[in-house]
Structure 1
Amino acid sequence: MAYSYPGTPVKVGSDLTTTEIHHLMKTPSLLRKRLATILDHKFIADYLLAGRFTAEGGAILYETGEEIFPADSPEAIAPGGEYPKTVMTTGELASAKTRKTGLASDVTDEAISRLLINPVDRGLRKIANGMIRDIDGTALGVIASKVAQTFAATAQWTSGEAIVDTVLSAKAKAEEDHIEESFDYSVVALKPTQFAKVAASLIKSDLVPRESGNFVLSGVIPDYLGLTWVTSQHVPFSDPILVDRDQLGGMADEKITSPGYVGYDGLEVKSIRKDERDMYTVQARRITVPVVLEPNAGIRITGTGV
């Protein structure tokens, strides 16, 4: 009796043959894995605006400034008694329209034959990074325009102690000012140059273990006193911003059905074969809009000197 065995699975590593590369380009699931392998950045917008909303029909209606506590207080209830009812409070109604952002690039058969996976990787990387730059810039700009709350640094950020004192003071004051909302300000977003200065100051002050120095490469300082520090080269504001990422808002994505697209980390990518031109067109898109639900869930820290 003869047995047949399945062929060797197509790889997504760096040592692919031209045949494997062409198969990858025609297989959405493999293209998605390839994108995951080479992607340099992720959306900081998705991190700071942690909510996930669905926009129907190209727009989303949402409420801002809604209190988390009811209008009435609980009451004592006798055995068999009726529970008192409270009127649900609502915030101010607002709307936002989604925007479809996209970018495409061509990869020729000649480029694949001569350079193997390199032109595919470069195309995917540039398209993805361009999309991230655009959407992060838009979302962070919306955050900056909505967050009006400020806190003056207790001292310029020339030492780890000054940095921690300012951030914890800003956190404590804002949480007291907005006790009804129960904000938990725990994430600081900075420009890369500011992040570098903060990282160096925290290390020199022995506030972060020196063996955790790899956070300078990862872009995230390990949690210290419940704080997480993040950075992006697309941050448009000059002052560090302290936020409650769970209540600040979210990204509202619109889902449209199109054959051939696969999603990864917020992006949808697709490879289109053009036999008449001996090439592929690789394109990426995202249909989304940033939504800030609670402007007071962010604080702009001024006078840091970084």
Structure 2
Amino acid sequence: MPGAYPPAAPTLAGDLLTVHRLLQNPTYLKRRLRTIAELRFVADRILTGRYRTTGGAIAFEQSEPIMNTRPVESVAPGSEYPRDSTPEGTAALAAVSKWGQAVGLTDEKLKRSVYMGQEVNRALIKTANSVIQKVDRLATAAVASAVTSSIAAAANWNAATPALFRDVELAAAKVVDLNQGYNPRAVLMSTTKYALLITDPAIAALRRRETSDNPIYGGDIETLGKYRIIATPASNLPSDDVWVFDPDQLGGMADETEVDPGYATMDNGLQYKTKRIDERDSWDIWARRITVPVVQEPGAAIRLTGTGTLG
């Protein structure tokens, strides 16, 4: 019957051998994964520190002051300098967790598809995106839980006369005024808020007009002033607010990086493994990341509220 599944098997068995060789070799698998553009964590763009742990947990200090507690005094000739002790942050401990998922890929699915490699790509992408989504939600939830400072927007970003750029600048100014050496230069928002940002008339008037990076010509707004714009689906955020933060100071992702037998490990901490299941004429594909988000400097970020809940 027309359109019935599965379709007839192709005659070229050599392609199947190539796909099997790919699945059996972690090095080939790693090279294949590097060509998939979707394998990017928002978490690593927010928490840019790269920490390594081997004991299942990481110890760190949170909110470490950058200045000593005693004020500097005038020192008379021949006198000793007044002594002070350097303050320490609050000790904290975070345990890593293994976040992962497995999928199956049958021989029939491979050999009866027009392009066998595409079936492998789809399985890799879907599994990777599932792990990425989970880790991203963990990271944004950790930031939202740790960051207590907030400032209200001048108006809903969907209002008639919003002040998007001014809202971001005022939020950043509040972080800078803590005098802790923070340099807020990144903004996290939902893709819907990004759509408002990219089409805001006031921002458009400040941009160069006849250039290829203008959004109207198909470009994106990757930076706004000194701020790097990071957009993620609203479902990845604890609330549809906007965060302005210092990506160098806020924190990082602590990954357990030991390579277990058979795993291909990516630079972003994502690990893959495949196994031939002869009893079922199929393959199992695992994807995982052993990690925990670490927020070291909650003061390096601020929540911009009142921008509107737009979904």
Flag whether TM exceeds 0.5 (same fold): yes
Residue type of the alignment partner of 1:154: A
Residue type of the alignment partner of 2:187: V
Partner in structure 1 of residue 23 of structure 2: 25
Alignment partners' CA distance in 1, 2:165 and 2:283? 51
Structure-to-structure mapping, 1:1-306, within 5 angstroms: 17-71=15-69, 87-115=85-113, 116-157=116-157, 158=159, 162-176=163-177, 178-179=178-179, 181-201=180-200, 205-209=204-208, 211-213=212-214, 221-233=221-233, 234-264=236-266, 265-305=268-308
Residue type of the alignment partner of 2:206: L
Preserved contact between residue 165 and residue 203 of structure 2 (Cα < 8 Å): no
1:161–1:209 CA distance, 2 compared to 1 (3 A) = farther
State the shift of 1:194 in Å.
1.0
Alignment partners' CA distance in 2, 1:49 and 1:125? 23
1:22-69 C-alpha deviation (Å, 9 max, x unpaired): 111111111112122234241111110011112232111111110123
Alignment partners' CA distance in 1, 2:307 and 2:85? 44
State the shift of 1:271 in Å.
1.3
Alignment partners' CA distance in 2, 1:228 and 1:159? 25
For this pair of structures, how many residues does the alignment match?
Answer: 288
SS at match of 1:247: coil
1:154–1:119 CA distance, 2 compared to 1 (3 A) = same
Residue type of the alignment partner of 1:186: R
State the shift of 1:217 in Å.
8.0
1:159–1:270 CA distance, 2 compared to 1 (3 A) = farther
Structure 2, unaligned runs of 5 or more: 1-13
1:59-108 C-alpha deviation (Å, 9 max, x unpaired): 1111111012344678999xxx9998752321011111111111111111
Alignment partners' CA distance in 1, 2:31 and 2:237? 28
State the shift of 1:267 in Å.
0.3
**Worse-matched range after superposition: 124-133 or 64-73:** 64-73
State the shift of 1:129 in Å.
0.4
Preserved contact between residue 160 and residue 205 of structure 1 (Cα < 8 Å): no
Alignment partners' CA distance in 1, 2:48 and 2:294? 10
Structure 1, unaligned runs of 5 or more: 1-15
1:222-253 C-alpha deviation (Å, 9 max, x unpaired): 32320111111222221111111111111111
**Worse-matched range after superposition: 204-213 or 128-137:** 204-213
Alignment RMSD: 3.0
The two structures have a TM-score, normalised by structure 1, of 0.84
1:171-230 C-alpha deviation (Å, 9 max, x unpaired): 113211x11x11111111111111111111168633334532469988x62323201111
SS at match of 2:239: coil
The two structures have a TM-score, normalised by structure 2, of 0.82
1:185–1:252 CA distance, 2 compared to 1 (3 A) = same
